[in-house]
Structure 1
Amino acid sequence: MDPRSSTQDVHRCDLCKTAIAQSYCDFCHVNLCKPCLREHISDEYETHKIVRFQDRKSTLIYPKCKLHTPKTCELQCKNCDNIFVCSSCTASEQHRGHIFVEVLEVYEAKKEVIEKDAEKLQNLISPKYEEIALELDNQITNLDGGYEKLTSEISNQGEQWHREIDIIINKMKTEIGEIKEKYKDLLQKHFEEIKQIQCLIDKTLLDMSEIKKSREVTPTIEYSSKIREFSKLPYKVKVPLATFIPHLIDREQLESLFGQMTPLSSATEESVWSINQPNTSVRELLDKPELVATIKTGYGSVLNVTCLNEDKIWTSGLTKEMKCFNINGSLHQTNTIKSGELPRDLAIDSYGNLLYIDDTLNTVNKIKNGQTNKLIRVKIWVPVNVCVTSADNLLVTMYRNFIAQSKVVRYSGSSEKQTIQFDDESKPLYSENKEMKYISENRNHDICVADCRASAVVVVNQDGKLRWRYTGHLAVANIKTFKPFGITTDSQSRILTADRNNNCIHILDQNGQFLRHIDNCLNDPWGLCVDNNDNLFVCECYNGNVKKIKYSK
């Protein structure tokens, strides 16, 4: 056997096929020995990249400039939608005065994002889907046994009765079969959906693996994270078994007294799977919250904050500009409202797009890829605050001019799906004025509104039924009138609201019970949000700062 064809053989020169390779062309992907090196680069040296053999495949492949061949593009123009440019492009009239960023910097940042996303998909999201699939598989496996036992119980009861009730027994057995098949079909359908998503995750991980190995700049920079998409876990479906309740024999009421199954028309039991709140992870409150960072926004007054991801936040104040900051406090991006007015409130949708309210045009708008699009336009009513739900719907608080009324409206896309305005006694749920009414959806789908004028947090369920009101707690140090402004919820279904009068944050459980408060030397706390790790961000209205606070373990 020729040792050069063996997998244990050393790497040989691709030109002469005999000598050991000491060099490598990172552009042509060719092994080279020293004698063949000159021959390989004889056409034009600049078209090759020769490195030591042990350093092969270490050179980044930059995109070629379409205007200045054969130059490569090592920069991106921030003013031109981050298009690739070469050094000659930067000196051209087209890019005069523009801001440029090194492609290598963007490339390395994206590689870090891909690495984190791959780790999260592989270690957190994919195992969770495996857990869901396993539970569904176990339910499907145990379904026959459970219903066989139920059928046996009915048969044993039937043997004690006379022949004239056989028709009733057969009828109920048929009902059992229909219920079993319905629930089995439901579980099987959900199981198949979960397996499809698992296949998509596996494919995504494979694509990420290829990108991580690749030295191509363009696919790496164009990588778009799917973490938000896969993090929206499906409902946990658990099918309850019907039960048979026997009765004493009464010939005059055979059919009604033979027994009944419960539930006969019950829907499946549903609960929400969560990545951020796994069954084994409970984040308890810290005895003493910690101030992690203070971000100076440059606003005279900062009113709103929302988390883009674990590394960035969007903010707005009493200017037409909306600013995105890195957690280290550096300005990452700025967007300006088209109308030139002030953004009333901010939110982030499940795809990472920025939403804002323009109350001069009565619109809710979305900024995607630098373009502003109108999502919702309201007539007569004026939108005030907005949040995005777990189902990617929008909840918007609004008031009506000239007639003192306030309400919450749920939108799916631009379609109005639900209006929440009155309680069961037809009394208004919210104070009837145009002041801020920040809104947030809790993990149990409750809708939480901080009603400043009413000095209350008003919580209704997803059907709009009043659950409870919270009007403050004596444990708060200054014991001034409770004035809630910003409101948000965390992974443990706790509700946090900013009490501007008392310069603190109230923390409540999902049933409205006061747990504790955070002060941390806060001044005029206003807008709030929490990230996926339950870090709290607080707008200090009049000094223009946003404080990051760790309050749970």
Structure 2
Amino acid sequence: MDPQHGRQKNVNCDLCENPDHPLYCETCQINLCRACVGNHLLDSSVRHQIIPLENRDSDLIFSICKEHSPKPCELHCEECDVFICIHCVTSSNHEDHKIEDAKRKFEINKDHLQNDLQEFNNLIYTKYLEIAKDIRVRTSKLHTYFNELESTLSQQREKWYGEIDNAISEMQIDLLRIKNNLSLPLSKQELDININISEINQSILDIKHLLQSNEVYKVSAYKSNIAKFRKMPPKIEIGLPKFSPPILNFRTSCKQFETFSDSYITTDVRGYITETTEVEAFPFKQFLEKPFIIKNIKTQYTGFLKELHSVSCNDKSEFWTCGKDSIIKLYNFQAELLDSVKTKSAKEPWDVATTTDGKLVYTDPNDNSVYIVERKNVKKVLRYYDCRPRNVCCTSDGDLLFIIDDIISEVTKVVRYSGSKEKQCIQSGDKRQPLFSYGDIKYLSENRNLDICVADHGAHALVVVNRAGKLRFTYSGPSPIGKGSFDPHGIATDSQGMILTADTNKHRIHILDQDGQFLRYIDNCDIHHPWGICIDKGDNLFVAENLTGKVKIIKYY
């Protein structure tokens, strides 16, 4: 039987290709004709179980255990994520591990495959085709517009004659440059969209093959990539330049003829909208009249010189913590210590964060390095010689944002990295004034509109810049009367775009909207010296108390 196509009406013998009514060896999982059964049973090293094909109670094909051949791997160890046989359960390798029926994992993954296929077919693939068509149409309109604009320039050339002929040529070069600059993002995005369409097509084909497959290992090894495509690409808006011929004065500088209005390229971060994007991703939520604590977890950061500084939650009801010792600790909601990581320098880290795929990132100013941890493997990803990395956050697109103190020039900046490559540096405003105070404590977070929000303790303010690094606003407290008394530390943003920051000395949390408007406090939850904070996908607020060593999980929506 072809495992890719499930149960077949006409099945050939796997040994001689005889099509006449084969039998089946459950041990070796092969089809046999009557003539081949005798030779097959001569292999005494294996206890064969021969049955009529029609008596098979399952089409599932299990892999053979490498340790206990020929036993089939009909179980799955969740912790090790491997298929095992019944004898493996009692081995030391899987002692106290959670074991499940391999058939159950097979059925669950089949459901996932079916759901992914349905979403690809019914929504994502069609939408990507529409996006590609829309980009082609807008690119064509862009080219048409510039062709018309170039024609207008040619007509104007006839009026201006010889001495401005060179100026017109220069303008045409500028026009071509603008056209190319504006066309390039659309062309690049169209290429990316077409690549995605190709990948989606391939994913659909792969899923269809897997849905037809009865091979447990292959189906269970399926890793869904549909999340990569659910978020529609950003929609690039093009601001078209206009041409306004000036009143000519031939004795003035030829610079007078630079009369194109500003063009621009902006990116709508919401992307192309699918039928489910806005409603499902960001449902409207209302604040609770009285926020309340749903968990009060005591960590090991208590006692002399064991302050708790940072907390970062993942998608598994777990959270990492760090403070004034060299051990970074992972807890669950039952206050159980699940894991720990000792820093490479054997000294205290500065901050921790969790990547979109669940890896731990921590900064260590003791050796000016940044590390990433996956399954106990601690890897150095960045090392500075004249800068000190402080706080870190992970962005929605997988980049890392760091607070960096430049020791030589004594400035503090925000830098964006993709892997080990620096993509952006933010440190000055439009008038080249520093955006952040030098040194001191700072936390940062990315908002859903891609703003970068920095809690600047030294400046007693929140500093918020857009993705391009331009200053949007600063916040120093809800009232000018309290200027200088605002003591920001941890900062986080939620699914509604709200900005939350810990006001340590006032023992409360400020909540602002994404434009810097103060909305309310969380100050009724018995919070003491809140320091680091984070928010999980359910919009639950995690507050790390600096001196008590407690992490309080607060519901405020």
Find the counterpart in structure 2 of residue 101 from structure 1. Answer: 98
2:527 is paired with a residue of what secondary structure?
coil
Instruction: Tell me the amino acid that sits aligned with residue 470 of structure 1.
Output: Y
1:195 is paired with a residue of what secondary structure?
helix
Instruction: Tell me the amino acid that sits aligned with residue 272 of structure 1.
Output: V
Inter-CA distance 11–114: structure 2 relative to 1 (3 Å threshold): closer
1:147 matches 2:146: yes
Corresponding residue to 1:508 among 509, 512, 533? 512
**C-alpha distance in 1 between matches for 2:167 and 2:174:** 10
Inter-CA distance 350–314: structure 2 relative to 1 (3 Å threshold): same
Instruction: Tell me the amino acid that sits aligned with residue 187 of structure 2.
Output: Q
CA contact (8 A) 2:285 2:496 kept: no
Find the counterpart in structure 1 of residue 370 from structure 2. Answer: 364
1:367 is paired with a residue of what secondary structure?
strand
**C-alpha distance in 1 between matches for 2:486 and 2:460:** 5
Q: Please give the residue correspondences for 1:230-241 in structure 2 after superposition, counting only pairs within 5 Å.
A: 230=229, 235-241=234-240
CA contact (8 A) 2:351 2:390 kept: yes
Find the counterpart in structure 2 of residue 306 from structure 1. Answer: 312
Find the counterpart in structure 2 of residue 397 from structure 1. Answer: 403
Q: Measure how far apart 1:470 and its partner are.
A: 1.4
How many residue pairs get aligned? The number is 522
1:348 matches 2:354: yes
Q: Please give the residue correspondences for 1:430-509 in structure 2 after superposition, counting only pairs within 5 Å.
A: 430=437, 432-433=439-440, 436-452=441-457, 454-461=459-466, 466-473=471-478, 481-509=485-513
Corresponding residue to 2:265 among 250, 265, 268? 268
Q: Measure how far apart 1:347 and its partner are.
A: 1.8
Give the root-mean-square deviation of aligned CA atoms. Answer: 5.3
Find the counterpart in structure 2 of residue 226 from structure 1. Answer: 225
2:132 is paired with a residue of what secondary structure?
helix
**C-alpha distance in 1 between matches for 2:412 and 2:532:** 20
Q: Measure how far apart 1:535 and its partner are.
A: 1.9
Q: Measure how far apart 1:86 and its partner are.
A: 3.7
CA contact (8 A) 1:305 1:537 kept: no
- Structure 2 runs not aligned, ≥5 long: 1-7, 303-307
Higher deviation after alignment, 246-255 or 391-400: 246-255
Higher deviation after alignment, 450-459 or 244-253: 244-253
CA contact (8 A) 2:77 2:94 kept: no
Find the counterpart in structure 2 of residue 4 from structure 1. Answer: none
1:429 matches 2:436: yes
Partner deviation per Cα, 1:354-389 (whole Å, 9 max, x = no partner): 212345554321123442211123447554321123
Corresponding residue to 2:330 among 323, 327, 336? 323
**C-alpha distance in 1 between matches for 2:225 and 2:337:** 21
**C-alpha distance in 1 between matches for 2:288 and 2:177:** 57
Instruction: Tell me the amino acid that sits aligned with residue 482 of structure 1.
Output: F
Inter-CA distance 217–516: structure 2 relative to 1 (3 Å threshold): farther
Inter-CA distance 176–344: structure 2 relative to 1 (3 Å threshold): closer
CA contact (8 A) 1:238 1:270 kept: yes
Instruction: Tell me the amino acid that sits aligned with residue 429 of structure 1.
Output: F
CA contact (8 A) 2:309 2:322 kept: yes
Find the counterpart in structure 2 of residue 538 from structure 1. Answer: 542
Inter-CA distance 50–382: structure 2 relative to 1 (3 Å threshold): farther
Instruction: Tell me the amino acid that sits aligned with residue 70 of structure 1.
Output: P
Instruction: Tell me the amino acid that sits aligned with residue 334 of structure 1.
Output: D
Q: Measure how far apart 1:536 and its partner are.
A: 3.3
Partner deviation per Cα, 1:375-410 (whole Å, 9 max, x = no partner): 123447554321123554432235689999755444
**C-alpha distance in 2 between matches for 1:295 and 1:110:** 34
Partner deviation per Cα, 1:498-536 (whole Å, 9 max, x = no partner): 3344554322233322133445736344433345x5623
**C-alpha distance in 1 between matches for 2:480 and 2:120:** 42
Q: Please give the residue correspondences for 1:29-428 in structure 2 after superposition, counting only pairs within 5 Å.
A: 47=49, 56-57=58-59, 59=60, 61=62, 63-73=63-73, 74-76=75-77, 78=79, 82-92=81-91, 95=92, 98-104=95-101, 107=105, 111=109, 126=125, 129-130=128-129, 132-151=131-150, 153-154=152-153, 161=159, 171=169, 180=179, 183-184=182-183, 186-226=185-225, 229-230=228-229, 235-248=234-247, 260-263=259-262, 266=263, 268-274=265-271, 278=277, 283-288=283-288, 294=295, 296=297, 299=300, 303-309=309-315, 311-318=316-323, 320-323=327-330, 325=332, 334-337=339-342, 339=344, 343-379=349-385, 382-390=388-396, 392-397=398-403, 408-414=414-420
- TM normalised by structure 1 equals 0.72
Q: Measure how far apart 1:539 and its partner are.
A: 2.8
Instruction: Tell me the amino acid that sits aligned with residue 471 of structure 1.
Output: S
CA contact (8 A) 1:125 1:275 kept: no
CA contact (8 A) 1:233 1:272 kept: no
1:376 is paired with a residue of what secondary structure?
strand
Find the counterpart in structure 1 of residue 305 from structure 2. Answer: none
- Structure 1 runs not aligned, ≥5 long: 1-9
Inter-CA distance 144–291: structure 2 relative to 1 (3 Å threshold): same
Inter-CA distance 248–417: structure 2 relative to 1 (3 Å threshold): closer
Inter-CA distance 186–526: structure 2 relative to 1 (3 Å threshold): closer
Partner deviation per Cα, 1:467-515 (whole Å, 9 max, x = no partner): 4321222599x99953333212345543222334455432223332213
Find the counterpart in structure 2 of residue 527 from structure 1. Answer: 532
Instruction: Tell me the amino acid that sits aligned with residue 337 of structure 1.
Output: K
CA contact (8 A) 1:76 1:84 kept: yes
Instruction: Tell me the amino acid that sits aligned with residue 456 of structure 1.
Output: A
1:244 is paired with a residue of what secondary structure?
coil
Q: Measure how far apart 1:206 and its partner are.
A: 3.3
Instruction: Tell me the amino acid that sits aligned with residue 219 of structure 1.
Output: K
Inter-CA distance 367–451: structure 2 relative to 1 (3 Å threshold): same
**C-alpha distance in 1 between matches for 2:253 and 2:437:** 54
**C-alpha distance in 1 between matches for 2:185 and 2:433:** 39
CA contact (8 A) 1:125 1:230 kept: yes
Inter-CA distance 279–449: structure 2 relative to 1 (3 Å threshold): same
2:288 is paired with a residue of what secondary structure?
strand
CA contact (8 A) 1:345 1:357 kept: yes
Q: Measure how far apart 1:143 and its partner are.
A: 2.5
**C-alpha distance in 1 between matches for 2:266 and 2:442:** 33
Q: Measure how far apart 1:457 and its partner are.
A: 1.6
- TM normalised by structure 2 equals 0.71
CA contact (8 A) 2:309 2:321 kept: yes
Inter-CA distance 54–42: structure 2 relative to 1 (3 Å threshold): closer
Inter-CA distance 429–241: structure 2 relative to 1 (3 Å threshold): closer
**C-alpha distance in 2 between matches for 1:185 and 1:431:** 38
Q: Measure how far apart 1:91 and its partner are.
A: 4.5
Find the counterpart in structure 2 of residue 3 from structure 1. Answer: none
**C-alpha distance in 1 between matches for 2:126 and 2:337:** 34
Higher deviation after alignment, 171-180 or 492-501: 171-180
CA contact (8 A) 1:456 1:470 kept: yes
Instruction: Tell me the amino acid that sits aligned with residue 76 of structure 1.
Output: C
CA contact (8 A) 1:381 1:398 kept: yes
Percent of paired sites with the same residue: 28
